[in-house]
Amino acid sequence: MSKELKITIDGCEMTAQEGRTILEVARENGVHIPTLCYHPRLRNAGSCRVCVVEVEGARALMPACATPVDRDGMVVNTRNERVLAARRMTVELLLASGNHDCPNCASNGHCELQDLAYELEIEHPRFPIQPPDLPFDNSNPMIVRDLNKCVLCGRCVRGCQEVQVNQVIQFGFRGPHTKIVTGGDTDYADSPCVFCGECVQLCPVGAISEKQRMPYGKAFEEKIVRSVCTYCGTGCVVDFHIINGRIVRVTGNEDAEVNRGSLCVKGRFGYDFIHHPDRLTMPLIREGDSFREASWDEALSLVAERLGRIKEEDGPEALAGFSSARCTNEENYLFMKFMRGTLGTQNVDHCARL
């Protein structure tokens, strides 16, 4: 077992397990250190330098996300003027190197770079703004990319490589020409991407976003409701982002033990049926060659009467039921009990059995 060490952060003495990073110890003890490239589900990269802190005895500022607590009595300063000046410089350079037009960005209100600029009181970068002028990738029906907003944090790369292991997204080119590429610098639609949307979930800015949500409002207008994905029996926990009563996007819940923020392509993007104009909202009863709307009481009474008549005339084996993976496990269980216990038939199947 690793031994316990004493560490002092901003004048407060704390106990830390040897090998834990300064960032982990700070967050566990309620000390805020801003980050950008860091994400708890990914390996530490230490590349953005937003989380730099001053460790007494070290000549340079150290990235808190990648610096372990390795000695007893370590003293760390997270908010002195040297540290804050370095963070401001980093964020100003990021703001100047892209087209971060917050009022017209769909991620306005849900952007970590925007939050950093506000926290560090940066109204305008001191450097000339020089976006890379890269083309807007609108080739895919689910995901859009605006690499002029990219901060090269690498979270999308690590998510694709480490979490989903699809190995589609990479860093491409070198120096000032570095950018995020897919499938050897092809459009998203022409790449081998499976469109799980892990990159969308992990992007801290507006460089990668959901295409379906773009017409409906900005991130700060969203109300978030937690639910469970109904596409299969895994039980992934999802967050519905709602604007004016309409689901505008779906994200994986980062705190869920089942999926820890990850979703498949159906769970993340297959929600357009919810508000589709052809979706049935009332029961329909066939009368001749047409259908008419009916109340639930009338429809259920008719179904019960017809099922009872078939069972009486032809026996329970004349009945069969087919259930759906779109229902919850509890609903499927009740359907099975209804078919076997109430109607007395063993002819019950499920669309996900094969």
Cα angle 16-19-22, degrees, rounded to a multiple of 5: 60
CATH class assigned to 4-79: alpha beta
Average pLDDT of the chain, as a whole number: 92
Q: Which of 108, 64, 111, 61 is nearest to 89 (CA)?
A: 61
Residues of the chain with CATH 2.20.25.90: 226-279
Judge whether residue 143 has pLDDT over 80: yes
State whether residue 32 is helix, strand or coil: coil
Whole-number Å distance between alpha carbons of 55 and 52: 9
Judge whether residue 206 has pLDDT over 70: yes
Total-model pTM: 0.84
3-state SS of 245-312 is CEEEEEEECCCCCCCCCCCCHHHHHCCHHHHCCCCCCCCEEEECCEEEECCHHHHHHHHHHHHHHHHH
Judge whether residue 354 has pLDDT over 80: no
Judge whether residue 1 has pLDDT over 70: no
Residues of the chain with CATH 3.10.20.740: 4-79
Q: Over the stretch 229-267, which tens digit does the pLDDT of each residue have?
A: 988 778 899 999 999 999 999 999 999 999 999 999 999
The CA distances from residue 221 to 217, 245, 248, in Å, are 7, 11, 11
**CATH assignment of 284-350, among 3.30.450.20, 2.40.110.10, 3.30.565.10, 3.40.50.740:** 3.40.50.740
- Which residue's structure tokens are 């017409």? 215
- 311 pLDDT tier (thresholds 50, 70, 90): very high
Q: Specify the DSSP element, H or E, that contains 325.
A: none
Residues of the chain with CATH 3.40.50.740: 284-350
- 124 pLDDT tier (thresholds 50, 70, 90): confident
Whole-number Å distance between alpha carbons of 343 and 317: 9
- 342 pLDDT tier (thresholds 50, 70, 90): very high
The CA distances from residue 76 to 10, 51, 119, in Å, are 6, 12, 20
226-279 maps to CATH 2.20.25.90: yes
